Chain A
Amino acid sequence: GAVVSQHPSWVICKSGTSVKIECRSLDFQATTMFWYRQFPKQSLMLMATSNEGSKATYEQGVEKDKFLINHASLTLSTLTVTSAHPEDSSFYICSARGLENTIYFGEGSWLTVV
């Protein structure tokens, strides 16, 4: 089956620093990837759609200068949380569109900002 790898699984950073999360489609090419944020016991909130070779499309209310998304290749998208603050602490999940429009998810990344 299609595999999406996300790294790192856990990251702790100091307030004011930036942190990068990578999302890779391992056995398929993904022109479109998605980044979500999830709070405990809640559903996923779509942050942005990452398109290979073009700018990401952000959902309303998501700061594009704070959550930088780059989709430089057909198998890699990155999310950089810039100038992180404790309120950015969350579970971030990426996904990629595979065959037959099925969306496959990464394992998620826990970000803790201290």
Chain B
Amino acid sequence: AQSVAQPEDQVNVAEGNPLTVKCTYSVSGNPYLFWYVQYPNRGLQFLLKYITGDNLVKGSYGFEAEFNKSQTSFHLKKPSALVSDSALYFCAAYNQGGKLIFGQGTELSVKP
């Protein structure tokens, strides 16, 4: 079955430290991969996507993600975390039916 997995329910990081939010996928064919961020009581904001090209994708607010085909991963990273980055992060991919399937979400907490 096609799926997206985020193995960590929560990630805690100190402000100024690098952060990584993990995502692995299992989809057929060439994957279309996305990261979204959700703040409390808000919709999802698009951060970045991978369709083709460079494996390292840069997105909004200083975030980037690395596509690794051999490990079927698309981890989200940021060199220096901010308290304002604290939010719920979702990894997503298109499945064969053209629908966006989501990971379970990872709550990122950045402490001052």
Q: Which residues of A contact B (CB under 8 A)?
A: 1, 4, 6, 34, 41-44, 46, 49, 91, 93, 95, 100-108, 110
- Report chain A residues within 8 Å CB of B103: 43
**Does A101 contact B32, Cβ atoms closer than 8 Å?**
yes
**Does A108 contact B51, Cβ atoms closer than 8 Å?**
no
In chain B, positions 85-108 with a C-beta closer than 8 Å to chain A are: 88, 90, 92, 94, 99-100, 102-105, 107
Complex partner residue of A42 from B36, B94, B100, B105, CB under 8 angstroms: B105
CB of B44 within 8 A of chain A? yes
**Does A43 contact B105, Cβ atoms closer than 8 Å?**
yes
How many Cβ-Cβ contacts under 8 Å join chain A to chain B? 51
**Does B102 contact A105, Cβ atoms closer than 8 Å?**
no
- When C-beta atoms are compared, the residue in chain B nearest to A93 turns out to be B43
**Contact residues of B: prevailing secondary structure:** strand
Complex partner residue of B90 from A34, A44, A102, CB under 8 angstroms: A44
**Does B44 contact A93, Cβ atoms closer than 8 Å?**
yes
7 contacts between A and B (CB under 8 A): A6-B43, A41-B105, A43-B102, A43-B103, A91-B41, A95-B100, A108-B43
Shortest CB–CB separation between residue B68 and chain A, in angstroms?
21
- Report chain B residues within 8 Å CB of A102: 34, 46, 49
Chain B 25-62, CB-CB to A under 8 Å as 1, else 0, gives 00000001010100001111110010100000000000
